[in-house]
Structure 1
Amino acid sequence: MMNANGFFFFKFKDETGMLNVIMDGPWIIRSQPLFLNSWTPKTKLEKKEVKTVQVWVKIHDIPLAAYTEDGLRLIATTIGKPKMLDSFTTSMCMDAWGRSSYARALIEISADKDFREEITMAILEPEGEGFIKETMYVEYEWSPHRCATCCVFGHSSESCLKQPMKTRKTFQEDPNRNIQK
């Protein structure tokens, strides 16, 4: 059931089923996250400011030396708080054979940081004489609107109510209004 304010209500057979659904998240429907909370008659229905979201991220061009669970976790920490790798990426790390053109990870991203598009990593050369710089590219499967002013997800900086209104050119102020082609 959905109410007029955009809240959805789900009914479960028992509390165990409800807790399983809440704990098995995050839930993403049509590329949009679904934030779940248990309800009681005392619950106040209000949309809270969202300061963190979990997003599936693809990291491309990972050096072979870093394609391990620990290496991928270290790389993911430059984007946010790593939650888990997808099953395909995990199996490639565990079996230590082959690799995809990217690694896929669920990462909790904070609204107070910009989205990373590139990650540069120094890798020790095989002979131990210096380092090689490797650049990896980050692709977000879903990217929420982020306001750098409020440091929240849900609206963009351009539509933020805390930003001053941009002055618009009116018809009378347009010097080209009488020019004909």
Structure 2
Amino acid sequence: MDSMTTHVYKSGTGRTEFARVLIEMDAKKGKDSIELQYIDCMQQVRGTKIVKVEYDWKPKVCSYCHVFGHDFE
């Protein structure tokens, strides 16, 4: 999470318009949405939410060799 999102989460106060969360995943399996789980201090799931994924930038990927930076054409 970015610093503002972390602060709001830890303090339980304030409000943000959006959160930035870094998620690592297989680049070949891009997703349109992910499921987030809210976990309390006892590691119990307190809720879940489906969140739309937006990409700031996506590199070209070759459909033949699956290498980033060029396409098959």
Normalized against structure 2, the TM-score is what?
A: 0.56
| Match for residue 105 of structure 1 among 21, 28, 41 | 21
- The yes-or-no answer on 1:91 pairing with 2:7 is yes
Q: For 1:160, give the aligned amino acid.
A: F
Q: State the match for 1:144 in structure 2.
A: 59
Contact conserved, 2:63 with 2:72, CA < 8 A, in 1?
no
How many equivalent residue pairs?
Answer: 65
Identity over the aligned pairs, expressed in percent? Answer: 38
Q: State the match for 1:160 in structure 2.
A: 72
Q: Unaligned regions of 5+ residues in structure 2, if any? A: 39-46
Cα deviation, residue 133, structure 1: 6.8
Please state whether the residue corresponding to 2:20 is helix, strand or coil.
Answer: strand
Q: For 1:147, give the aligned amino acid.
A: C
Q: Which has the larger radius of gyration?
A: 1
Contact conserved, 2:62 with 2:69, CA < 8 A, in 1?
yes
| Cα distance change on mapping 1:121 and 1:92 into 2, 3 Å | closer
Please state whether the residue corresponding to 1:154 is helix, strand or coil.
Answer: coil
- The yes-or-no answer on 1:118 pairing with 2:33 is yes
Q: Unaligned regions of 5+ residues in structure 1, if any? A: 1-84, 124-131, 162-181
Q: Which has the higher contact order (CA 8 A, sep 6+)?
A: 1
Normalized against structure 1, the TM-score is what?
A: 0.28
Q: For 2:56, give the aligned amino acid.
A: E
Please state whether the residue corresponding to 2:10 is helix, strand or coil.
Answer: helix
Q: How large is the RMSD of aligned CA atoms in angstroms?
A: 3.0
Cα deviation, residue 86, structure 1: 1.5
CA deviation vs aligned residue, 1:29-65 (integer Å, no higher than 9, x gap): xxxxxxxxxxxxxxxxxxxxxxxxxxxxxxxxxxxxx
